[in-house]
Amino acid sequence: MNGSAIGVSRPRHDAVLQVTGRALYGDDYERPGMLYAKALRSRHPHARILKVDTSRALKLAGVKAVITAEDVPKNRYGFTHLDQPVLADDKVRYMGDVVAVVAATSWDAATEALDQIEVDYLPLPAVFDPVEAMKPDAPKVHGDSNIVSHIKIRSGDVTEGWRISSEIVEDVMRTQVVEHCHIEPHAALAELTDDGTYVIWSTVQRPFLIASDLSRILQYPMNKIRVITPAIGGGFGGKNEITIEPYVCLLAAKTKRPVKMVLSREEEFCGTTVRHPYIVKYRSGVTKDGKIVARQVEIISDSGAYVSWGESTLSKASIHAAGPYFIPHVRIDGYLVYTNNSIGGAMRGFGVPQVGFAYECHMDNIAAVIGMDPLEFRYKNLLTDNSSLPTGQVLEFVTLRETVRKAVELVGWKKEVEWE
Amino acid sequence: MKKRGKGIACMFYPIGFTSYPNPGSAFVKVNQDGTAVVFTGATDMGQGSTTVLAQIAAEELGIRYEHITMVTGDTEKTPFDLGSVASRVTYIVGNAVKRAAHEAKRILLEVAAEKLGVSPDGLCAGDGRIYIKGLPERFLEISEVARIAQMGKGRPPIGSGSFNPITTFLDPETGHGKPYGAYVFATQIAEVEVDTETGVVEVLRIAAAHDCGKAINPMLVEGQVEGGISMGVGYGLFEEMVLDNGVVKNPQFTDYILPTSLDMPEIRVGIIERPEPTGPFGAKGIGEPSLLPTAPAIINAIYDAVGVRIRELPATPEKILKALRETDQGKA
């Protein structure tokens, strides 16, 4: 009798709602008297803001309020670094920075009002290449250095590793910027109730992070902030942090009406986080019998204009950069660099797809150099039970070899494989 | 000419946040008719985690899956959860739900033990019943036990639970420490066909062998793997947001190319189950790892097919043709 619920392909708990179209997503929520909010984003990748004049926009029919940086009680957020403004104040640091948000009685009225907001910018020199950004004379995005963090992992002694290697193979790989492309864009609706509670319906992966960030940004108690997640059309890390929730709350407080905001697909691309592009350098030493004895990795991660999840992403990438192989001598250096590009954030795999692409292609290149079959070369070096990682963590219950054998069983390999 | 090749890629990936505490928590109440409600802050973005959590609650309580209601993603109604990130919900929130359910079940077992004249430890719950271990014919319906507990004994069967994996921060100079509680493993093999005249790559099939500890819901595991592979195909071959001096040049789906169903290969999923003792019923996670090996397996398969090494993603036809020409010139 026991065990009936586990290991069984139960239908999803919301299957009927989903297939009958009755599941309510972010933009499906409405409240009486609701207003619609649209954001004005930067016109420059890097500029000082001299003046923001909203007076002409406020005179337009249907426009109920416009918020700027002055309206935000605590205008900075971030996970490891509080470097990102809710609304740009002193500077804009990338094209997606929001300078003002309008609430109006229709989407059209809100959109038209954006053209009537006057912003005086003083354009500043910008930097788009992370390697250039690391140089001392590069334009600075924040403070006096663009290098935000340097993650180090050290295990054994790579100098000794090179000495005992019979071949040393080097590769440089680059990964691109990709967007999450969750099919449902960010949507949020806020209502300030009669008892002074903000109720926010928002398409987020982390409602409690939104609640605690809102509490700090709005300087408002958490028991008066209620974040509710509707049905969500995908996240992949793109809905992992606060985005439009402060705007709808501030505008709801200012207008005493519920306010909704939904990002367009274009805004999803231009104004939300993306997967960090990495430049990854690999150098590995192998012995004659195909054992990897040393690996050195350098990662340069383009954080864009703010850190967001960049440091934790780079940390995860660095921890996994040696790959699922036992290598006694490892040296990994990861650099996170500010530029005036789009912000790298959390995205499915959190830095590891970038290094994973690099280390697995590097593995094939090494196999080619030493004339071994790529599968057999991997199999010889894979982590097994009680292998230790470059962090010193010892792994248990390792099934890498089982997964290789299973994959071969499913589609075969280029040749017959003799398993050790 | 069309040429075929095979490529392999392996990966390991952790469950949960790097070093930082990332707890999940849950409340459980059993109603007096034997149905139950689970409250947790974890949200479902489509991956099916709420279904998995309901299965875990059902299993622990011994109540049918259909009799579990999930209340999720409401910061006022539910206890804290860190969030649906880091492939952590099944492992971390699953453990929290299991602990909360266990606490509620304990009340039911104590009440049933009195009626059946045995110790609570001699009882188990399953299929909507509480029965004597080894003697399933001596049972009480959970509905009856719940009613007696709540209205007869004045002991509402409720429970709360939380879970946080044991981790440490890394030494800033050496990177040493224990950043994660559990790891998962996978291998994918891709078979591709490359058109040497156009540079177009067709991914013919992918074998995806993934260890997730224990598949609570095998259909949802397969769904995650297939979804991850589609994202990996996009990462490897199509997707790139082009920035020119900070300006996004392709901010729409006409120029930013996502794979469609026509681009998807035949996928053969192999689930490996080696239960993780710290996971709920042995489970770990599958969300992010499913995507990881796909792009490198494809790039390695292209190398096997036509001998060109793509070092910058995505492997567009233009890059492949350029690399093919360079290889030809090198030979000439």
CATH number at residue B190: 3.30.365.10
Examine the domain organization and report whether B156 and B279 are in the same domain: no
Examine the domain organization and report whether B205 and B240 are in the same domain: yes
Residue B246's closest CA among A131, A125, A277, A341? A341
Examine the domain organization and report whether B325 and B199 are in the same domain: yes
What is the average per-residue pLDDT within B152-161? 98
Final residue before a domain boundary, out of B163, B197, B215? B163
Q: What is the pLDDT of residues B86-113, one digit of tens each?
A: 999 999 999 999 999 999 999 999 999 9
Spans of chain A, pLDDT less than 70 = 1-3
Examine the domain organization and report whether B153 and B218 are in the same domain: no
- Answer whether residue A387 is part of any domain: yes
Spatial separation of the C-alpha atoms in residues A184 and A236, rounded to whole Å = 11
Alpha carbon distances (Å) from A153 to A48, A156, A157, A196, A361: 38, 10, 11, 49, 21
Which of A7, A265, A270 is the closest to B218 by Cβ?
A: A7
To the nearest whole angstrom, how far is the Cα of A61 from the nearest Cα of chain B? 30
Examine the domain organization and report whether B215 and B85 are in the same domain: no
Residue of chain B nearest A341, judged by CA positions = B246
Q: Determine the structural domain holding residue A300 and report its residue range.
A: 130-178+273-411
The distance of Cα B198 from the centroid of its chain, to the nearest Å, equals 38
Interface of B with A in 203-222 (CB under 8 A): 205-211, 214-220
Spatial separation of the C-alpha atoms in residues A116 and A91, rounded to whole Å = 20
- Residue with structure tokens 């660095």? A318
- Answer whether residue A63 is part of any domain: no
Q: Do A400 and B10 make contact, defined as CB atoms within 8 angstroms? A: yes
Count of structural domains within chain B? 2
3-state secondary structure of B52: helix
- Answer whether residue B58 is part of any domain: yes
| pLDDT of amino acid B332 | 55
Q: Which residues have C-beta within 8 Å of that of residue B207, sequence separation ≥ 6?
A: A406, A407, A408, A410, A411, B188, B189, B268, B270
Count of structural domains within chain A? 1
The DSSP 8-state label assigned to residue A316 in this structure reads H
Examine the domain organization and report whether B202 and B246 are in the same domain: yes
Choosing from B60, B191, B222, B288, the catalytic residue is: B288
Q: Is B291's Cβ below 8 Å from some Cβ in A?
A: yes
Q: Do A410 and B268 make contact, defined as CB atoms within 8 angstroms? A: yes
The enclosing H or E element of B272 equals: strand B266-272
Q: Is A369's Cβ below 8 Å from some Cβ in B?
A: no
Strand A91-92, strand A47-53: pairing? antiparallel
Interior angle at CA A365, CA A364 and CA A369, nearest 5: 115
Q: Please report residues of A whose CB lies closer than 8 A to that of B180.
A: 393
Q: Do A6 and B56 make contact, defined as CB atoms within 8 angstroms? A: yes
Here the tokens at position A1 are 């009798």
Q: Where would I find the beta strands (DSSP E) of A13-62?
A: 35-41, 47-53
Residue B202 has pLDDT above 50, yes or no: yes
Final residue before a domain boundary, out of B97, B128, B163? B163
Q: Do A319 and B7 make contact, defined as CB atoms within 8 angstroms? A: no
Examine the domain organization and report whether B82 and B37 are in the same domain: yes
Do A165 and A334 form a contact (C-beta atoms < 8 A)?
no
Q: Please report residues of B whose CB lies closer than 8 A to that of A360.
A: 9-11, 293, 296-297, 299-300
What is the average per-residue pLDDT within B20-24? 96
What is the average per-residue pLDDT within B62-90? 97
Q: Do A6 and B80 make contact, defined as CB atoms within 8 angstroms? A: no
Q: What is the mean pLDDT of chain B?
A: 97
To the nearest whole angstrom, how far is the Cα of A48 from the nearest Cα of chain B? 16
Spatial separation of the C-alpha atoms in residues A12 and B42, rounded to whole Å = 16
Q: Please report residues of A whose CB lies closer than 8 A to that of B246.
A: 45-46, 94-95, 126, 128, 340-342
Q: What is the pLDDT of residues B275-297, one digit of tens each?
A: 999 999 999 999 999 999 999 99
Residue A44: CA count within 13 A, CB half-sphere: 17
| pLDDT of amino acid B331 | 66
3-state secondary structure of A288: coil
Q: Do A179 and B241 make contact, defined as CB atoms within 8 angstroms? A: yes
To the nearest whole angstrom, how far is the Cα of B313 from the nearest Cα of chain A? 5
Residue B330 has pLDDT above 90, yes or no: no
Q: Do A14 and B10 make contact, defined as CB atoms within 8 angstroms? A: no
Round to the nearest angstrom and report the end-to-end CA distance of chain A.
40
- Answer whether residue B173 is part of any domain: no
Examine the domain organization and report whether B321 and B271 are in the same domain: yes
To the nearest whole angstrom, how far is the Cα of A275 from the nearest Cα of chain B? 10
Q: What is the 3-state secondary structure (H, E, C) of B60-107?
A: HHCCCHHHEEEEECECCCCCCECCCCCCCHHHHHHHHHHHHHHHHHHH
Q: Is B188's Cβ below 8 Å from some Cβ in A?
A: yes
Do A259 and A251 form a contact (C-beta atoms < 8 A)?
yes
Rg (CA), chain A: 25
Examine the domain organization and report whether B158 and B244 are in the same domain: no
Q: How confident is the model at residue B329 (pLDDT cuts 50, 70, 90)?
A: confident
Final residue before a domain boundary, out of B115, B134, B163? B163
Spatial separation of the C-alpha atoms in residues A284 and B110, rounded to whole Å = 61
Which of A228, A235, A341 is the closest to B246 by Cβ?
A: A341
- Residue with structure tokens 């739900």? B97
- Answer whether residue B174 is part of any domain: no
Q: Do A403 and B250 make contact, defined as CB atoms within 8 angstroms? A: no
Q: Is A2's Cβ below 8 Å from some Cβ in B?
A: yes
Residue B226 has pLDDT above 50, yes or no: yes
Q: Do B187 and A403 make contact, defined as CB atoms within 8 angstroms? A: yes
CATH number of the domain residue A353 falls in:
3.30.365.10
The enclosing H or E element of B26 equals: strand B24-30
Q: Do A126 and B179 make contact, defined as CB atoms within 8 angstroms? A: no
To the nearest whole angstrom, how far is the Cα of B326 from the nearest Cα of chain A? 18
| pLDDT of amino acid A419 | 83
To the nearest whole angstrom, how far is the Cα of B190 from the nearest Cα of chain A? 9
Here the tokens at position B324 are 């093919």
Q: Please report residues of A whose CB lies closer than 8 A to that of B19.
A: 315
Which of B6, B8, B205, B247 would you mutate first to test chain A, the one with the most A CBs within 10 A? Answer: B8
Residue of chain A nearest B216, judged by CA positions = A7
- Answer whether residue A159 is part of any domain: yes
The torsion region of residue A386 among left (phi > 0), alpha (psi -120 to 50) and beta comes to: left
Phi, psi of A40 (to 5 degrees): -95, 120
Phi, psi of B229 (to 5 degrees): -65, -40
Here the tokens at position A45 are 């990748």
Here the tokens at position B157 are 């069967």
Q: Do A269 and B84 make contact, defined as CB atoms within 8 angstroms? A: no
Residue B50's closest CA among A242, A24, A11? A11
Alpha carbon distances (Å) from A265 to B44, B183, B254, B257: 22, 35, 11, 14
| pLDDT of amino acid B304 | 98
Examine the domain organization and report whether B214 and B107 are in the same domain: no
- Answer whether residue A78 is part of any domain: no
- Answer whether residue B175 is part of any domain: no
Spatial separation of the C-alpha atoms in residues B109 and B120, rounded to whole Å = 5
Buried b (16+ CB within 10 A) or exposed e, B211-237: bbbbbbbbebbbbbbebbbbbbbbbbb
- Answer whether residue B169 is part of any domain: no
Examine the domain organization and report whether B232 and B319 are in the same domain: yes
Do A340 and A141 form a contact (C-beta atoms < 8 A)?
yes
Q: Does the bond joining B314 to the residue before it have cis omega, within 30 degrees of 0? A: yes
Single-letter code of the amino acid located at B318: E
Spatial separation of the C-alpha atoms in residues B141 and A144, rounded to whole Å = 69
Q: Determine the structural domain holding residue B77 and report its residue range.
A: 17-163
Examine the domain organization and report whether B188 and B252 are in the same domain: yes
Interface of A with B in 186-245 (CB under 8 A): 204-211, 222, 225-229, 232-237, 239-240
Catalytic annotation present for B288: yes
